[in-house]
Amino acid sequence: MEIILETKNICRDFKIGDGSIVHALKNVNIAIEKGKLTILRGRSGSGKTTLINILGALDKPTSGEVIFQDSDITKLSEKKRDMLRRFDMAFVFQSVALMSSMTAYENVDFGLRLAKYPYNKRSERVKYCLENVNLGKRMHHRPGEMSGGEQQRVAIARAISHEPSIIFADEPTAELDTTTSLQVVALFKKLTQEQGMTIIMTTHDPSMVDIADKVYTLEDGEIVE
């Protein structure tokens, strides 16, 4: 078993308007295994978004270390953290953030351009990724011409397109019905099994967790068993 990402005693405090402090994460230690689907679960306000944002270098802990590929990424410059996010990591959010004027194909292609994917391999890669999420027939549809689940699958195709080493998904199924949600999670599982991707997602939906390789439960900023 190979650990790709690990936290060591991370805490995240937020100072709020009235001067008081919220301890959103308290001594969190987790280890993410390469090629697996890990789920972070917990009630609203338990710290899931705070934790996934720190794992994905979108935020820094108040104290503690985040080890990714053997180095503490909290100590890197903003420029290096930006490079990590752009080339090594990918993100899928709750509300699908696709460009509404672009087709599914163009949305994925746009992601590849940002990641500086080789020009002559782009077209093939876009088609491969959209087929991978079962959207071969929706390639030339714009987001407004697709269902919520289809749009989320375009977002997933875009996330996997530049071959990131790790994908973060914060409540990717929150706006989908149960059946579609389970399909999205099943797709994540397939990507880990067939392509060795590492995926971390958050959810507050207990029905999602059975499919995960590993589940961490957060309660009030702490990992509980």
Ligand X SMILES: Nc1ncnc2c1ncn2[C@@H]1O[C@H](COP(=O)(O)OP(=O)(O)OP(=O)(O)O)[C@@H](O)[C@H]1O
Closer of 49 and 103 to Mg ion (Cβ):
49
Phi first, then psi, for residue 126 (nearest 5°) are -60, -50
Closer of 3 and 21 to ligand X (Cβ):
21
27: helix, strand or coil: strand
From candidates 46, 49, 161, 198, binder to Mg ion by CB under 5 A? 49
* H or E element that contains 155: helix 148-161
Q: Is 173 in the site for ligand X (CB under 6 A)?
A: no
Per-residue string for binding with ligand X, 112-141, x by CB under 6 A? Answer: ------------------------------
Q: Is 172 in the site for ligand X (CB under 6 A)?
A: no
Closer of 180 and 217 to ligand X (Cβ):
217
C-alpha 69/C-alpha 56 separation (Å) is 13
Which pair of tokens denotes residue 15? 């100072």
Closer of 11 and 174 to Mg ion (Cβ):
174
Closer of 122 and 204 to ligand X (Cβ):
204
Q: Is 203 in the site for Mg ion (CB under 5 A)?
A: no
211: helix, strand or coil: helix
C-alpha 34/C-alpha 15 separation (Å) is 34
> Segment 6-65, which members bind ligand X (CB under 6 A)?
14, 16, 22, 24, 42, 44-50
What is the torsion angle, in degrees rounded to the nearest 10, for the CA atoms of residue 80, residue 61, residue 47 and residue 204?
A: 30
| From Mg ion, ligand X, none, interface partner of 58 (C-beta below 5 to 8 A by class) | none
Q: What angle do CA 88, 94, 95 make, to 5 degrees?
A: 110
| From ligand X, Mg ion, none, interface partner of 14 (C-beta below 5 to 8 A by class) | ligand X
C-alpha 67/C-alpha 84 separation (Å) is 13
CB of 206 to ligand X, least distance (A): 13
Which CA distances in Å does 74 have to 33, 65, 102, 159, 167? 20, 6, 35, 23, 18
The residues that touch Mg ion, with contacts defined as CB under 5 A, are: 48-49
The residues that touch ligand X, with contacts defined as CB under 6 A, are: 14, 16, 22, 24, 42, 44-50, 204
